[in-house]
C-alpha cells in the first residue's frame, strides 16, 4: 500500500502543472472570490469558507479520473494486475497518496483563507481541514469510478460538468437549498456533496455542531466507500 | 515440484479460439521455450497462467496456485516481462525498480546493480525518455532482480540490439544456475535453441509438438539454396536431404544432420552459388506443422 502511495506521489511530483493545479489554483481562486465580493464580505464568508473544504473534492476528482484513465489505457493497469498486490491494497495506496496531497492542499487553502483573507471558522480551521481531506477522498473515489466509463482523457474531463457541477449547484453553496424548487431539494439529498457542504457549513458557522455533523460525515464516508467498492469492481483483470 | 501446469486450458475471445485445450507440465528449475509465430496464442497462454484473463475451460496453475482464484499468492512467485514494456512514464528506472521490488519483497539489490551495468541502462532517466528497447531492459532488470521462483518472459528480446541479446542470454543462464524456472515465449528459433531445456511448439492455439531439442531434431535443420549452371541434379535421394523447392536452375533443400552426403553428391556438379542458413520459424511451420496436428519428426 505504501509502495503504491509513494509511486503515485513520485509521479505527481514530476508533473509541475498538476502540483500547481492542486496547491496554487485553490488559493488563487479563493483570493479572487474575496475581491469579487469586496463590498459584500458576508457573502464571501458564506461561500468562501465552505469552498476551502470543497476545492479538494473538485480537484481530486479531476486528477484521479485522469490518472486512473491513464493506468487503464496505457497498459500499466494490466501490469499492476500481474503484480503481487491486491485490489484493496492498490486502492488504499491511491487513497493514502491523494489523502496526503489533500492534507497539504487543505492546509494551504485554510491558512490563506482563515488567516489572510479574513474568513471565519467558528469551530476551528482544523475541522474544515479534516473535512476537506474527507471530501478529497470522496472526489478521488468518484473519479476512480468515473474513469471506468471514459476511453480518452477528453471524455474523462467531460465528467466534470456531468458529475461535479450539478452537485455543486444543488448542494446549497450558491443558494440556500430551502429557496430551491421543491423537487430539487429532494434531488440534492441524493448527492453526497450536499452532506459534505452541510458539514462544512456547520463547521464554519456559529451554533452547535451536534449529531447532524456526525451524520453528514457518515454519509460522506459511506459514499466514499461505496464509490471505492464500485471502482474496485471496474478494475477487472479481464481486460479484453 | 511442478512450476507450471495447464490442463485443457482453453480461451475463446468471441468467435476466435485463441487457445485450444493446452496441456503443459513444466518442472521447477526447467528453462522452457514456448515457440510459435505471432498470433499463435503465446501471450494468451501467459495471461491465463497469470490469472489476468479467465479461462473459458480447463485450468492453469503456478506452483499449484490457480492465479485466477488467488492472484496475489501466485504473483508473489513470478517475475513477469510483458510483451510490451508498459511502465509509468513519469518514473525513473530506479524508481520503477524500487516500486516493483517493494511489492515483491524478495529482491537482490546487488544483482540489480549488476544487471543495470550489464544492460547499460541509465537508471536515472525517466521512463518517458527511454526508447522501446531501453524500456524493455527496465522490465528485464526488474524481473530478474526479484529472483522470483518463476520468470515468465513474453518475447523478451523484442527491441533489443544483438549485444543486449547476449547479455540477456547470460542472465537467463544465471537464473537457470540458481534453479529459477524460466518460461520463455519466443518466435526466434536460435534464442530458444541456445537457452532452453525443452521446447513446446504452438500453432493456432494448439500445442503441436513438444520435446527436448534432441527430440525436435528437425528444428536443427539447415536451409541450403543452390543454383546450378544448367539443370539441377536430382538430390532427393541423398541421405538427410529434402527438396523443398525446385525451379529452373535453383533448388532449395532442407538438410538435417551432417552436410557431408550432400557435399559428396555435389562434387563435380556445376554449382554457381551455394548458401546455407538457419530456417526461419515460418519455414519450419510451413514444412512441418502445416495443416497437420502432428509434427513430422524427420
Rounded to the nearest angstrom, the minimum Cα separation between A100 and chain B is 18
Please give the span between the terminal C-alpha atoms of chain B, in angstroms, as a whole number. Answer: 33
Give the pLDDT confidence score for residue B113 in this predicted structure.
Answer: 94
Helix axes A125-146 and A87-110, enclosed angle (nearest 10): 140
Q: Establish if A107 belongs to a structural domain.
A: yes
Selected residue of B15, B65, B69, B90 to mutate for chain A interface (largest A Cβ count, 10 A) = B90
A79 with B126: Cβ contact below 8 A: no
Q: In this complex, how many residue pairs, one in chain A and one in chain B, have their CB atoms less than 8 Å apart?
A: 73
Indicate the SS3 state at residue B255: strand
Is B296's pLDDT higher than 80?
no
Q: Which of B52, B54, B73 sits opposite A82 (nearest CB)?
A: B52
* Top-tier CATH class for B222-278: alpha beta
Is A209's pLDDT higher than 80?
no
Partnered with residue B26 across adjacent β-strands are: B4
* B248: region left, alpha or beta (phi > 0 left; psi from -120 to 50 alpha): left
B86 with A76: Cβ contact below 8 A: yes
Residue B52 contacts A where some CB pair is shorter than 8 Å: yes
Residue of B nearest to A73 (CA): B86
Residues of chain B with CATH 3.40.50.300: 2-213
Rounded to the nearest angstrom, the minimum Cα separation between A15 and chain B is 8
Mean pLDDT of B217-226: 80
Structural domain range at position A111: 2-234
Give residue-wise pLDDT tens across range A211-225.
Answer: 888 999 999 999 999
Rounded to the nearest angstrom, the minimum Cα separation between A223 and chain B is 28
Rounded to the nearest angstrom, the minimum Cα separation between B177 and chain A is 25
Task: Provide the number of structural domains found in chain A.
Answer: 1
Rounded to the nearest angstrom, the minimum Cα separation between A132 and chain B is 28
Q: What is the CATH number of domain B2-213?
A: 3.40.50.300
Cβ contacts of B82 on chain A, cutoff 8 Å? 75, 78-79, 82
Q: How far is B196 from B176, CA to CA, in rounded Å?
A: 10
Give residue-wise pLDDT tens across range B192-207.
Answer: 888 999 999 998 899 9
Q: How far is A30 from A18, CA to CA, in rounded Å?
A: 18
DSSP labels, B22-90:
EEEEEETT-EEEEE--TTSSHHHHHHHHTTSS--SEEEEEETTB-TTT-HHHHHTTEEEE-SS----TT
Give the pLDDT confidence score for residue B49 in this predicted structure.
Answer: 96
B86 with A78: Cβ contact below 8 A: yes
Residue B129 contacts A where some CB pair is shorter than 8 Å: no
Q: Which of B72, B87, B91 sits opposite A84 (nearest CB)?
A: B72
Q: How far is CA B114 from the centre of its chain?
A: 24
Indicate the SS3 state at residue B247: strand
B279: Cβ contacts below 8 Å, ≥ 6 apart:
B189, B221, B222, B223, B254, B287
Q: Which residue has the cell 488567516?
A: A115
Give residue-wise pLDDT tens across range B45-86.
Answer: 999 999 999 999 999 999 999 999 999 999 999 999 998 899
At B293, the pLDDT band (50, 70, 90 cuts) reads: very low
B161: Cβ contacts below 8 Å, ≥ 6 apart:
B133
Asked whether A1 and A92 are in contact (CB, 8 A), the reply is: yes
> % helix / strand / coil in chain A, to the nearest 5?
80, 0, 20
Residues of chain B with CATH 3.30.70: 222-278
Amino acid at each position: 500500500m505504501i509502495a503504491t502511495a509513494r509511486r503515485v506521489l513520485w509521479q505527481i511530483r514530476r508533473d509541475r502543472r498538476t502540483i500547481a493545479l492542486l496547491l496554487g489554483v485553490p488559493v488563487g481562486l479563493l483570493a479572487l472570490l474575496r475581491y469579487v465580493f469586496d463590498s459584500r464580505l458576508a457573502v464571501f464568508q458564506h461561500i468562501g469558507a465552505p469552498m476551502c473544504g470543497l476545492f479538494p473534492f473538485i480537484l481530486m476528482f479531476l486528477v484521479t479520473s485522469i490518472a486512473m484513465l491513464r493506468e487503464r489505457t496505457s497498459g500499466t493497469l494490466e501490469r499492476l494486475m500481474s503484480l503481487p498486490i491486491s485490489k484493496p491494497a492498490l486502492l488504499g495506496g491511491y487513497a493514502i497518496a491523494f489523502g496526503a496531497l489533500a492534507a497539504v492542499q487543505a492546509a494551504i487553502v485554510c491558512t490563506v483563507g482563515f488567516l489572510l483573507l479574513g474568513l471565519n471558522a467558528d469551530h476551528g480551521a482544523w475541522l474544515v481541514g479534516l473535512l476537506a481531506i474527507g471530501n478529497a477522498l470522496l472526489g478521488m473515489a468518484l473519479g476512480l469510478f468515473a474513469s471506468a466509463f471514459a476511453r480518452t482523457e477528453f471524455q474523462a474531463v467531460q465528467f466534470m460538468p456531468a458529475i461535479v457541477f450539478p452537485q455543486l449547484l444543488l448542494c446549497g453553496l450558491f443558494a440556500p437549498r430551502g429557496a430551491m424548487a421543491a423537487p430539487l431539494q429532494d434531488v440534492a439529498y441524493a448527492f453526497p456533496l450536499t452532506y459534505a457542504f452541510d458539514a462544512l457549513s456547520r463547521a464554519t458557522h456559529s451554533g452547535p455542531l451536534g449529531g447532524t455533523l456526525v451524520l453528514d460525515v457518515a454519509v460522506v464516508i459511506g459514499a466514499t466507500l461505496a464509490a471505492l467498492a464500485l471502482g474496485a469492481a471496474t478494475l477487472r483483470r479481464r481486460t479484453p | 515440484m511442478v512450476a507450471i501446469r495447464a490442463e485443457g486450458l482453453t480461451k475463446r475471445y468471441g468467435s476466435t479460439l485463441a487457445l485450444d485445450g493446452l496441456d503443459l507440465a513444466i518442472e521447477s528449475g526447467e528453462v522452457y521455450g514456448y515457440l510459435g509465430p505471432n498470433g499463435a496464442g503465446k501471450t494468451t497462454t501467459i495471461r491465463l497462467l497469470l490469472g489476468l484473463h479467465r479461462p473459458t475451460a480447463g485450468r492453469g496453475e503456478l506452483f499449484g496456485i490457480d492465479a485466477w482464484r488467488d492472484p496475489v499468492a501466485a504473483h508473489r512467485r513470478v517475475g513477469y516481462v510483458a510483451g510490451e514494456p508498459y511502465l509509468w512514464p513519469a518514473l525513473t528506472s530506479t524508481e520503477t525498480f524500487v516500486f516493483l521490488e517493494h511489492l515483491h519483497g524478495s529482491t537482490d539489490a546487488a544483482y540489480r546493480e549488476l544487471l543495470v551495468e550489464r544492460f547499460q541502462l541509465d537508471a536515472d532517466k525517466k521512463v518517458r525518455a527511454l526508447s522501446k528497447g531501453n524500456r524493455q531492459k527496465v522490465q528485464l532488470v526488474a524481473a530478474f532482480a526479484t529472483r522470483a521462483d518463476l520468470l515468465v518472459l513474453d518475447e523478451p528480446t523484442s527491441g533489443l540490439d544483438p549485444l543486449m541479446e547476449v547479455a540477456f542470454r547470460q542472465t537467463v543462464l544465471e537464473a537457470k544456475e540458481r534453479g529459477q524456472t524460466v518460461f520463455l515465449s519466443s518466435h526466434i528459433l536460435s534464442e530458444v535453441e541456445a537457452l532452453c531445456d525443452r521446447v513446446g511448439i504452438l500453432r493456432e492455439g494448439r500445442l503441436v509438438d513438444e520435446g527436448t531439442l534432441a527430440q525436435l531434431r528437425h528444428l536443427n535443420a539447415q536451409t541450403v539454396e543452390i543454383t546450378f549452371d544448367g539443370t539441377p541434379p536430382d538430390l532427393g535421394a541423398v541421405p538427410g536431404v529434402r527438396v523443398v523447392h525446385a525451379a529452373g536452375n535453383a533448388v532449395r533443400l532442407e538438410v538435417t544432420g551432417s552436410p557431408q552426403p550432400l557435399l559428396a553428391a555435389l562434387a563435380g556438379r556445376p554449382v554457381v552459388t551455394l548458401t546455407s542458413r538457419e530456417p526461419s520459424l515460418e519455414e519450419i511451420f510451413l514444412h512441418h506443422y502445416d495443416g497437420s496436428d502432428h509434427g513430422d519428426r524427420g
